Every structure is written in structure tokens, then in C-alpha cells.
Amino acid sequence: MDVLQYTDAHQQFREHARTFLANEVIPFVDQWEKDKIVPRDIWRSIGKAGLLCTTVPELYQGPGHDFLHAVIVNEELSRTNHYGLMASLHSDIIAPYIATFGSEEQKHKYLPGCVSGDIVLALAMTEPDAGSDVASMTATAVEEGDEIVIDGAKTFISNGIHCDLVVVAAKDPAVENPHAAVSLYLVEDGTPGFNKGNKLDKMGMYSQDTSELFFSGCRIPKENLLGTKGQGFIMLMKKLQQERLVCSIMAVATAEHVCRQMLSHCKTSSVSGKPICKSQSIQFKLVEIATDVQIGRSFLDQLIADHMEGKDVNTQTSMAKYWTCEMVNRVVRESLDILGMEAVTENCHLVRTFRDVRVMPIFAGTSEVMKVIVAKNLGF
């Protein structure tokens, strides 16, 4: 019996997502990768198709679907062999901050645009000298009358070029406890004092717009505080379970896609008149790849089910995040070895995959940070 119970409606939604991506995304990926950015209009197109913010309630003009719809979108996006359209970040990592912690005014103001693609979201946490250690950030937020003044720099911000709204983590310099000093704020594009830096030229994920963001005397109204002041660190921690789960979904779906491609390739390609798959050494590698993928899928599906039931699986999602992201890198490396000389040019589709998945063990908390979290939760 399958752990996840997909209904006919879920399957129809998957077919809809797959068809949309086949027609509106996959044919243009190569050009987007050359341009090193996706066009802004694709966000509105995918929003119109109902594939953004699938769990946002109907009250805020969202589809009001369950989390399995988000899983489906993330899996189908992974089949496009590119990560330029970072819809998972927008829909399933950042929008939930607004949906959970936002005031009714903030939800009605911003969530409909997030669903339609008229608003692209970014999350500004990482700084030049502060990554996984949120408490060490130096960006400040100071109250002055009815306004909040934000100063600081953020870097490696996904959706940083296209973003229309940024959830910014900043500290009150008057609070000594670094964890209690962090709050989250909503900053709109075009706000004086908020400037976007150049798009960063990365090793992979070429068409995904990653940039620096700068805040210099950036004034926002007090009502742009997200949630409760001083609770930013706790709010971030509460949402990390889903964030890391989403990363695992991307990793496993990508590994499955690569595995399917390699099995087909080895059955249809020949060396010295024999299919590659008849070589025992190749068979062993394919078995190892298929086993890794199956283990990842089994673990992931159980975590998705537990997450949907509201269970606390922070330890397990930390395990899954580090293991699945390392696993997909292992699968792609082994696949490139099988391809041999075919894998030395850009014509090989796995070359892009190899570049793109390299960052997975780094973003959303490195593998080492995941192990530290698990070790603490095991009582070490």
C-alpha cells in the first residue's frame, strides 16, 4: 500500500502541470539558461495555470489544495532539468510565512498576487558574513516613530532580481540576546533605500535569478512587521521543517528523473554490438543508483505523510535534507561516469544537472548543519 494516497483529482492535476510545463517551460529552458534568467512573464503564466501557492486558502484567492498538490508541482518542475523557475521557494517556503504569521490585512494584500504570479517572493536571510547561523546576522531594524528603518546587506538571495516583495530578517540592535533580537519584515520592491544588486554569476542554476540586496535607510511602515517583534528566529525555525522537506522533494524527484533516463539509455545504447546494460559493471552501478533512489523515495513519502498530519519531524527532515541532497549528487556523478565521453560536452543533458544539484547540500542549511541538528536532537 502506498504511503501517500493520491486521488484521481491529484493525478489530473499532475497531468495538467506536466502538460503546462511541457508546452510553456521545457521548450524555452535552453534559451533561459543562455540568458541566465527566466523571463518575468513566466511567473504570471504559471500563476494563471494554478501552479503557484497551491495551499493558499480560497479566502485569499488561492486554490486551497492540500500539500500533495505542492509535492506534485515540485516533482514536475524537477523533470524540466533546470531550476531557474524557483516556484518551490516562492510557493512552499516563503508564502507560508505570510499565510501563517501575517495579519489579515497583510494576507489579503499580498497572497492573491503571490497566487497569480503578479508578486514574486524572496527571503532575505543570508548575509556576506552570516549564513546558516541566523543569530549572527548584522542587518538592523530600528523603530523611528511610525516607521522601521532597515540597514544592511543580504546575499545569495534567490528570486532577488524579479522579487516584488521580500521577507527580510533583521535585528534590533538594542536587544542583547541575538535570537530574541531577530524580527521579520515585509519590504516591497521600489521602497526608497531598498536596492537590488547585480545578478550573481553562479556555477549552476544559471537561469535562477540570485542577487545581493541592499538596505540603506530603508523606511517601511510599522505594519510591515511580519508576526510578532522579536519572534523572527522562532518563526524561521517553525518553517524549516517544510523548507527542508521541499528540498528533499526536489532532490528525490531529480534523482528519479536521472535514474529513469539512465535505465533507458543503457538499454538502448550499445558498445561492440551489445547493449550497455549487459555489462555487469554497468548493471551494478545502475542497481546502486536505483537502490539509492528507492530508499530516498520511501523515506521521503513517509515524511510527507507525517508532515501533512502535523507531526513534529524536524529531526527526520534534517536527516532527509542532508541524505537526499548528497544522494542526488551521488546519482548524477555515477551517471556521468556511465556516460563516459558523452558527458564531456554541454550537449549532454546531465552536465546541467550536475552543476545544478551541487548547491543542494549547501542551501537551506548545509549537510554539516543538518548533522549538527540531528546530533543535538539525539542527545549528543
For residue 156, what is its C-alpha cell?
A: 545569495
243 is an active site residue: yes
The Cα–Cα gap between 77 and 87 comes to 8
Q: What is the DSSP letter of 128?
A: T
Q: Bridge partners of 142?
A: 149
How is 154-217 classified by DSSP, letter by letter?
Answer: EEEEETTTT-SEEEEEEE-TT-SSTTTTEEEEEEETT-TTEEEEEEP--SS-TTS-EEEEEEEE
Total residues found in the chain within this entry: 380
Q: List the grid coordinates of 67.
A: 500539500
Q: Which residues contact 96 (CB under 8 A, 6 or more apart)?
A: 55, 239, 242
56: which DSSP letter?
S
Which residue out of 127, 212, 243, 256 is catalytically annotated? 243
- What are 259's three cell numbers? 535514474
- Candidates 170, 180, 161, 174; CA nearest to 225 is 170
Catalytically active residues are 243
